[in-house]
Amino acid sequence: MTRTLRVFAGLALSGAALLPALIGCTTSGRTSATQERTPTYTASPTWTVAPTNTPKSYVVVAGGYTSGAFSPFYSTVYAAEIASNGSLVGWIQQANALPDLGAYRGYFSDASYLYVVGGWSGGGSSSAVYSASVAAGVVGVWNTLAAYPQPVYGGYAARAGGFAFVAGGYNSSTYSYSSSVYSASLNGSGGLGAWNSTTALPAIRWGASIVSDGSYLYAIGGWNSSAATNTVYVGTISGGNVTSWAAGNPVPALLTGQAAVYRSGYLYVFGGDQAGGYTTTYIASASGGNVGTWFTSNPVPGGTNVYSGIAVTHGGFLYYLGRTFGPRSAAYSATVNGASVGGWNSEPQITDPLGATSAGVF
């Protein structure tokens, strides 16, 4: 009778190699095939580490003018990166300037394009409409789109969903102020559909701030051909149409040339010009087309007259850019949380003094 002795060798690990062995033997010196074992190996998992870089955001400003007698005008375009703490890193002049000089254009933007409508360049109102792509802080070539139905400057604009709306303004060809409102669809690639007339403002307005919460338009203040106003008109939107306008709670001051934004259920209005000027910041809730009571918050810094600057918002921050009195290339930022605007911080100044500029955040 043959007695079998099984001897098991341990596992040996050297570097990345795993060397298992199972040795079978008999007292007669023969190795049994049934006693041999073939080791199996499991591949180590491959780990993929997700990138931690967050896409950067940028403020873009385009065109404007200095002050006084509407001169000089600019077509220059600048972009500034928004740092994680809300500050602006610095302004970089873009290779692609606007096709012409001008200020007081209507402007609006979507996720990837900045659009400008009309404007004034010293020789009269314009009906030109341009758009340019913005990607990673670089502004592309400006494209000429279908002209606005009439020459206009100081007719300001807002985007609501897939449509753009432009309201009011001044037509230097007919020497007339306007209450007209036109809309056009956005095609998602920098183009616009045909301009269509919709329900006009209840009264003529130049320089009224036009903002939207997506369901309503808010036309705030503006010039009525003889004086500044404090009216707030609320337009109900259905697709590309304004079905009606209603009077909202008026601003406490008579304003024209003010800046305004809508953010998360609130209207914010900055500065304006009437009888010596204002730097006041006004805030009111806006919900379902209803405008709440206006109250004041931290004023924009820099003198007694904050006029023809513009405002944009990104994340938890507001930005006030340019104006035509005081430091005309000024840039300020402030934190914002509902009805509260924090203290304003000075940011790097825009290289050119761009009053009545156009802007967007991308």
Pick left, alpha or beta for residue 78 (phi over 0 → left; psi -120 to 50 → alpha; otherwise beta): beta
Predicted confidence (pLDDT) at residue 3 exceeds the cutoff of 50: no
Average pLDDT over residues 167-184: 97
33 SS3 class: helix
- 154: phi then psi, degrees, rounded to nearest 5: 70, 15
Q: Count other Cβ atoms within 10 Å, centred on residue 259.
A: 27
Average pLDDT over residues 224-245: 97
Confidence of residue 6 (pLDDT cuts 50, 70, 90): very low
pLDDT at 317: 98
Give which of 176, 179, 227 is closest to 202, Cα–Cα: 179
Give which of 279, 305, 304, 257 is closest to 104, Cα–Cα: 257
pLDDT at 278: 77
0.95 exceeded by pTM: no
Q: Please write the tens of the pLDDT for every residue from 47-57.
A: 554 555 678 99
Confidence of residue 29 (pLDDT cuts 50, 70, 90): very low
Pick left, alpha or beta for residue 264 (phi over 0 → left; psi -120 to 50 → alpha; otherwise beta): left
- Parse the chain into domains and list their residue ranges: 4-35, 57-361
Confidence of residue 304 (pLDDT cuts 50, 70, 90): low
- 349: phi then psi, degrees, rounded to nearest 5: -70, 150
What is d(CA 358, CA 307) in angstroms, rounded to the nearest whole number?
Answer: 14
CATH number 2.60.120.620 is the correct assignment for the domain at 57-361: no
Q: Which two tokens stand for residue 238?
A: 């259905």
pLDDT at 327: 60
